[in-house]
Chains A and B, each alone.
Chain A
Amino acid sequence: MNELLLVVTIAGERVALPAAAVESVVELDTLIPVPRAAPHVAGLSALRSRVLTVIDCKRSLELGESDRSDGIREAAVVDFDGHHYALIVDLVEDVVEALSDATPVRAAMGAGWERVCGGMVDTETGPLLLVDVAALIAGTAEAKAA
């Protein structure tokens, strides 16, 4: 049985998240900023009685800030290390089946992508970058230091 992947767009790039890690896809409306937190922490939101820590994937990849002017963002909710995170993405596309195991990407990528890269997987729509959710949540090296 092949792994299921959630295909999302981050910073204009189609990438895959392991579907098993994703609990749900939600539209965030309220976003409470967390002053002094690392820049990729966009804020907090609530999903039912759970507090979601909202991660701006674009910021985490050091590719600029997601446009939140329309107030509503699509986000993938993941449960990592006992905490719930909402990963803001540009667009949630579809769930597809992985046709191969993840293989290392040998081409040079941007620094941000390099950091969150969990390998490359083949799908029906071509190869996709598999994103390491933990690395995405951890953010940049400076964020970790802070």
Chain B
Amino acid sequence: MDDLIADFVAECREMLEALGGEIVAWESEPDDRARLDSIFRFVHTVKGNCGFFDFPRLESLSHAAEDALADVRAGRRHPDGQLVSAVLAIIDRIAEMVAAIEAGEEMPGGDDSALIHALAPGADGPAAPAVATAAEGHARPASAPRTIRLSVELLDRVMSTVSDMVLARNELARRLRESPTDVSVDGAFERLSAIIADMRDAITRTRMQRIENLFVGLPRMVRDLSAELGKQVLVDIEGGDVELDREMIEMIRDPLTHIIRNAVDHGIEKPADRLKAGKREIGILAVSARQSGNQILIDIHDDGRGIDGKKLVVKALDVGLLEKDDAAKLSHREQLALIFEAGLSTAKAVTSISGRGVGMDVVRSNVERIGGIVEVDSRVGEGTRMTLRVPLTLTIIPALTVSIDGQHFAIPRSAIEEIVRANGESVTLEHLGGAGVATIRGRRVPEVSLAKILGIETAIDPRDRTLIVLRPAGGDVYALSVDRIHDHEELVVKPAAPAVMATGLYAGTTLADDGSPILLFDPAGLAQVGGVKLEAQERSTRIAEGPAAVVSKATAVLLFRALDGSRRAVRLAVVDRIEEAPVSAVRQAAGQVRVQLGEAILPLAGATGAELGEGKVRLFRLNDGVHEIGYAFAEVIDFAAIDNDVIHADRPGEISGVSLIGGEPAELVDAHWLFANHVGAAARTSEQLVCRLPSDDPWMQNMLRPIVEAAGYRVVGDEHESNADLVIAAQGSEVPVDASNKTIWLRTEPEAAGKKDESIYRYDRAGLLMALKTANAGRGN
């Protein structure tokens, strides 16, 4: 009974709070129907509840008010000032009484009949002053928010019960599938499922906490630190209302603290140094959190001295973390990433705050342990930005289930880059001294066998396994071979017992739909146990493999059958739409086959040498942004992606190359050539300049070649004998230097290595075009 009364009190108070503004507004505008309605609802609710509880005074008060308001609502009575005052007086009295009930006190004394009487038409106003004092006395309790405190254990128990419920539901679902059931049973089951899903969502939300809890201590910490170090730091915190699983908040507390300590200690300079550097005396440390998909991004940005990547490299060379050859190839980002290596600290002296050489590596491993990533970006003299990316919740992780010798395991989906079959066309598996190396579309990655890591025998031939290319948090790729992959699932993951975690292989445990436990792998741990030399491997290959990685990004194409029956593919991006035109609209005009589509006349490709037959012709409308051409075809086969190597045609033409798409070869339509021939034919010079591109460099051939060709060059391979007007080569590659021609060097990194470096960043399109043009002009003279 007490619980019910508490609920009643809470409900009344909530409504009174909501009514607070309404009452005042109603007083000034008694005709406002919406306000009248909400006040009516309140007294009505109070009346209803009072009948259930034994509160006769409350009941009579609310009943009287309800009657009067019902008359107003029915239009039998006009709300005049006197009625409004009378109703307000009653509401105040109700508030008083509710407060008394809540406090467990005696009902405030006084006779209610005067108040009730005042409601009657034509009655005198109530004793307003008395009401006013009463309301004042009880203003405090009415403002308390309606919340309760729950123990975390209780929440966890509810969470676990909900998980049980999900499992039970899944079990039931399976049983229902197995036996024929009534439609009505299915319907009821569906409803139950939906309710359980809702409930799971809701309970997951109860575990969320505002990240403010984590941020609230930061200003004080920074203040103390900067005072100790004789610095001036202003903390700017943003996004405290982002919500995060409370467990996750605890997990990132240490890494965040460490990063901030580092920023204050090493990043932000002393006021005098800052002034010298032309900055404000006060350093700014900005900490912000935001949600991005199912990740939370926490940025820690300081405007201090920044991290000098080159110094890091020198240091890494000193302590032997890095080989000299590799060091030269590091990109700016990779140089900075060295800060996360164990045993590396740029601090000149060890301080009590940070810089003991055990810091950032611990930060990274802590963040990665919870499935997060930590990134660093910095410019010398300008500042450093550290970004923590952590999953929203520890407990529910999208995962892929795989099996080995019949046992199921889960792999967090966030670490999975791609999945390929070991016997796929674009994959070769080799063994070098017992170590596996998988070459996937030209990219070499270390291959480790899950069976080997786990010490399980499996009957499945290595060729028939599936390779999962994993990039554990931090960015080191390797391929894991498993027997079979199963399902994508959202798993409720729980930490495993220390004895299980001690293996270093697992990130936690979870329960499958059938209630059996599944171990969730830690991709970084797998690599470590599997003996993949992560850091070193990654550094040396990422540079060399850069171009291949770009190419390997699957290109979406439209697979179709041409009029001559050949299987062809055209890049989806250039296809504007598919049209149909009567054959009569296709005619030879002005030296070309053209098709009339409505008002437009487009050059038509794909129709040469083929009978159009009768009736209609279907065509793609290709668009290069300026011009349009038509491309006739017989039928569309499918959408597909080029994920295999492209064998390039020897000569430029309508077909740029051949690739396996969907297991069968398909000719790739060279849209660039089409446009060049059908639209830009007139613009062509009779004598083309020759450009030599390394023919074994897929990036050059796929990405660069169209640009070079568009600039008016004829592209030849490096086996070509004749003199080229222009040579384009990757920086660092060996190209016979010929005095008579010009050479454009391309580098893979946006930043130039030095002032003397005249190379062009390979995605600097404007720079490239400029260089192509200058080379062209030089020849013209």
Contacts from A to B (Cβ < 8 Å): 30, 32-38, 40-41, 44-46, 48-53, 55, 81, 83, 85, 137-139, 143-144, 146
Contact = CB atoms under 8 A, between A and B. Distances in A.
Contacts of B529: 36
Contacts of B160: 49-50
A37 B511 contact: no
B352 interface: no
A46 B499 contact: no
Which has the most chain B C-beta neighbours within 10 Å: A32, A40, A45, A143? Answer: A32
| List of 5 A-B pairs having minimum Cβ-Cβ separation, nearest first | A35-B454, A53-B497, A44-B517, A49-B164, A83-B497
Contact of A35 (B455, B515, B518): B455
B517 A37 contact: no
A45 B529 CA distance: 24
Given A32-B519, A49-B167, A137-B497, 20 more contacts: A30-B517, A34-B503, A34-B519, A36-B454, A36-B455, A37-B499, A37-B500, A37-B503, A44-B509, A44-B517, A46-B517, A48-B164, A49-B164, A49-B511, A53-B497, A53-B500, A55-B499, A83-B496, A139-B499, A143-B502
Interface string B476-516: 00000000000000000011111110110110011100011
Given A32-B516, A44-B517, A44-B519, A53 B454 contact: no
Given A34-B503, A37-B499, A51 B509 contact: yes
A51 B494 contact: yes
Nearest to B451: A35
Contact of B503 (A36, A45, A55): A36
Contacts of B733: none
A144 B503 CA distance: 10
B704 interface: no
A48 B500 CA distance: 20
A135 to B, nearest CB: 13
Interface of B: 160-161, 163-164, 167, 407, 453-456, 494-500, 502-503, 505-506, 509-511, 515-519, 529
A137 B500 CA distance: 11
A51 B496 contact: yes
A144 B163 CA distance: 32
Contact of A51 (B407, B456, B517): B517
Contact of B496 (A46, A53, A144): A53
30 contacts: A30-B516, A30-B517, A32-B407, A34-B503, A34-B519, A36-B453, A36-B454, A36-B455, A36-B505, A36-B529, A37-B503, A38-B502, A40-B499, A44-B509, A46-B516, A49-B160, A49-B167, A49-B511, A51-B496, A51-B509, A52-B517, A53-B496, A53-B497, A55-B499, A81-B498, A83-B497, A83-B498, A137-B497, A139-B499, A143-B499
Contacts of B495: 83
A118 to B, nearest CB: 19
Contacts, number: 78
Given A35-B456, A38-B502, A53-B497, A46 B519 contact: no
Contacts of A48: 164
A53 B496 CA distance: 8
A33 B407 contact: yes
B494 to A, nearest CB: 6
A51 B167 CA distance: 13
A71 to B, nearest CB: 14
Nearest to A40: B499
A138 B453 CA distance: 23
Nearest to A38: B499
Given A49-B511, A51-B511, A32 B517 contact: yes
B459 to A, nearest CB: 16
A139 B503 CA distance: 14
A36 B516 CA distance: 19
A56 to B, nearest CB: 11
A61 to B, nearest CB: 15
A52 B497 CA distance: 9
Contacts of B509: 44, 51
A50 B495 CA distance: 11
Contacts of A51: 494, 496, 509-511, 517
Contacts of A33: 407
Contacts of B498: 81, 83
A137 B502 CA distance: 13
Contacts of A139: 499
A146 B529 CA distance: 12
Contacts of B502: 37-38, 143-144, 146
B511 A46 contact: yes
Given A35-B456, A36-B454, A46-B511, A41 B517 contact: no
Contacts of B505: 35-36
Nearest to A41: B499
Contacts of A55: 499
Given A38-B502, A44-B517, A85 B455 contact: no
Contacts of B496: 51, 53, 83
Contacts of B167: 49
Contacts of B455: 35-36
B486 to A, nearest CB: 15
Nearest to B159: A49
A38 B499 CA distance: 7
A111 B69 CA distance: 86
B331 to A, nearest CB: 36
Contacts of B407: 32-33
A142 B691 CA distance: 66
A35 B458 CA distance: 13
Nearest to B164: A49
Which has the most chain A C-beta neighbours within 10 Å: B502, B516, B517, B519? Answer: B517
Contacts of A38: 499, 502
Contacts of A146: 502-503
A138 B499 CA distance: 7
A45 B499 CA distance: 14
Nearest to B512: A46
Contacts of B494: 51
Nearest to B408: A32
Nearest to A82: B495
A38 B501 CA distance: 10
A33 B161 CA distance: 25
Nearest to A60: B499
B497 A85 contact: yes
Which has the most chain A C-beta neighbours within 10 Å: B453, B497, B506? Answer: B497
A23 to B, nearest CB: 14
A75 B407 CA distance: 23
B499 A137 contact: yes
A46 B171 CA distance: 15
A34 B407 CA distance: 10
B483 to A, nearest CB: 14
Given A41-B500, A83-B498, A49 B163 contact: yes
Contacts of A41: 497, 499-500
A33 B517 CA distance: 10
A138 to B, nearest CB: 8
A134 B115 CA distance: 70
Nearest to B493: A51
A32 B511 CA distance: 11
Contacts of B511: 46, 49, 51
Nearest to A143: B499
Contacts of B519: 32, 34, 44
Contacts of B454: 35-36
Contacts of A40: 499
A51 B496 CA distance: 8
A41 B518 CA distance: 15
Contacts of B517: 30, 32, 44-46, 51-52
Contacts of B453: 35-36
B163 to A, nearest CB: 4
Contacts of B499: 37-38, 40-41, 53, 55, 137-139, 143
A140 B738 CA distance: 71
Contacts of A37: 499-500, 502-503
Contacts of B161: 49
